[in-house]
């Protein structure tokens, strides 16, 4: 039996004629006469043709996941949107204001801690509140008698010495500072160190939340980080110069 058609082997021809116009014209002689061998007929193998002589065409392989490919083909190409600058700008403004506050309250105690101060005596006029909310005012007289400051704020007054008329040793950075510090020892360092640490924390927050460290390009990133650090630094230096 023939495996393709199921017919007896002797009953099915091994080759089936297929006419090809192009080949037939090319086989014609110069006078237009057909050759004498088989009439210009091309015999294709039976495995490549159907029973009626038409050639077998291979079906195209089915596309895998046609719906997925169609969806990918129809999906529009979206350009990534630039980041929103408002959060970074808001963080810059808020952290700059916080930096200015802590630089202002730390400038005077910093100069006192490093030795830039005028020693003298402050006389308590009145105090209000108690504990951490104790607020006192008084009159400061410099030790060398160069100036007298009236109505200055007195910081570091013990509760037991907050009565009016009490004289305490104190220090001021100058006649225009407006604050006399009566605390001594470790307490004078605790008035400026936490504030400057907060300034450093705000500087790191500005670098992070403004995206300065995430800019493409090493050169642009360095300039952006330098500008983010320069802002709080200039604010602190300005308040230190004002409190000198």
Instruction: Identify the pLDDT of residue 191.
Output: 81
Instruction: Identify the pLDDT of residue 238.
Output: 93
Distance CA(84)–CA(200), nearest Å, equals 26
Decide: 134 and 157 in contact? Cβ < 8 Å. yes
Q: Find residue 49's DSSP bridge partners.
A: 55
Two tokens, residue 174 = 């100058």
Q: Find residue 155's DSSP bridge partners.
A: 181
Grouping H, G, I as helix, E, B as strand and the rest as coil, residue 50 is coil
Two tokens, residue 195 = 């504030």
Distance CA(132)–CA(141), nearest Å, equals 26
Distance CA(109)–CA(46), nearest Å, equals 105
pLDDT value at 143 more than 70:
yes
Instruction: Identify the pLDDT of residue 129.
Output: 82
Instruction: Identify the pLDDT of residue 24.
Output: 46
pLDDT band for 198, please (50, 70, 90 cuts).
very high
Task: Note the pLDDT tens digit of each residue in 81-137.
Answer: 566 778 888 999 999 999 999 999 898 888 888 878 888 999 998 888 877 788 899
Question: Poorest-confidence range of 17-21, 40-44, 48-52, 71-75?
Answer: 17-21
Report the relative pairing of strands 15-18 and 167-172 from DSSP bridges: unpaired
Is pLDDT larger for residue 215 or for residue 98?
98
Is pLDDT larger for residue 144 or for residue 20?
144
The mean pLDDT of the chain is 77
pLDDT value at 178 more than 80:
yes
Is pLDDT larger for residue 34 or for residue 224?
224
Instruction: Identify the pLDDT of residue 130.
Output: 77
Decide: 166 and 139 in contact? Cβ < 8 Å. no
Distance CA(228)–CA(231), nearest Å, equals 6
Average pLDDT over residues 160-184: 85
Instruction: Identify the pLDDT of residue 77.
Output: 55
Distance CA(165)–CA(163), nearest Å, equals 6
Distance CA(15)–CA(22), nearest Å, equals 20
Report pTM: 0.57
Q: What size, in residues, is the chain?
A: 244
Instruction: Identify the pLDDT of residue 25.
Output: 47
Taken in order 105, 110, 116, 117, the sign of the CA dihedral is positive
Average pLDDT over residues 142-158: 86
């Amino acid at each position: 039996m023939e495996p393709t058609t199921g017919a007896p082997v002797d009953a099915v021809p091994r080759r089936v004629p297929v006419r090809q116009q192009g080949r037939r014209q090319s086989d014609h002689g110069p006078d237009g006469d057909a050759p004498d061998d088989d009439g210009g007929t091309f015999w294709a193998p039976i495995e490549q043709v159907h029973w009626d002589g038409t050639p077998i065409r291979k079906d195209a392989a089915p596309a895998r996941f046609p719906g997925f490919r169609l969806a990918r083909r129809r999906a529009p190409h979206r350009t990534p949107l630039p980041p929103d600058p408002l959060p970074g700008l808001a963080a810059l403004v808020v952290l700059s204001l916080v930096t200015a506050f802590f630089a202002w309250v730390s400038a005077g105690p910093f100069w006192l801690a490093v030795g830039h101060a005028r020693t003298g005596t402050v006389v308590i006029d009145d105090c209000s509140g108690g504990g951490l909310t104790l607020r006192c005012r008084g009159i400061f007289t410099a030790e060398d008698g160069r100036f007298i400051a009236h109505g200055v704020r007195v910081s570091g007054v013990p509760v037991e010495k907050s009565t009016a008329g009490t004289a305490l040793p104190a220090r001021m950075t100058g006649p225009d500072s407006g604050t006399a510090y009566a605390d001594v020892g470790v307490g004078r360092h605790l008035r400026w160190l936490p504030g400057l640490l907060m300034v450093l924390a705000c500087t790191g927050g500005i670098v992070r939340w403004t995206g300065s460290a995430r800019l493409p390009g090493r050169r642009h990133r360095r300039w952006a980080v330098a500008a983010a650090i320069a802002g709080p630094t200039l604010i602190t230096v300005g308040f230190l110069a004002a409190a000198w």
